[in-house]
Amino acid sequence: MSVAAVMHRVGPDFGALGGSGTLRAMVGALLTYGLIVSALMVIVCAATWAIASSSGSWQSASKAKTGLFVAVCGAVLTGAALAWTNWLLDLGATL
């Protein structure tokens, strides 16, 4: 056997560490709940902003506008976290 053949066989066994499918399912479920909550908050904050603006309550409209911005940022970050987690799990499987 040549040295190159032996060196090709030596390396960590990533198949021995199981559970990546379970981890992917758990992360996906948690991030799905996060996206649902963010989408509901976008709806609530947008409705509150519209109602507060039409009734002349500028302080409430400002708070609702801030809540809408936070909810949209939360939805974007949650979606990005799902994509990043899937990329890392796929990257780890190829090492």
Structure-block tokens of residue 7: 């060196």
Give a yes or no: residue 84 inside a domain. yes
Residue 72 sits in which domain range? 38-95
Please tell me the number of Cα atoms within 13 Å of 5 on its side-chain side: 2
Model pTM above 0.85: no
The pLDDT of residue 63 is: 96
What domain count does the chain have?
1
Q: Which long-range contacts (CB under 8 A, 24 or more apart) does 6-14 make?
A: 12/95, 14/92, 14/93, 14/95
For the chain of 95 residues, list the mean pLDDT of each consecutive stretch of 10.
Answer: 56 58 78 89 95 94 96 90 80 72
Give a yes or no: residue 47 inside a domain. yes
Give a yes or no: residue 28 inside a domain. no
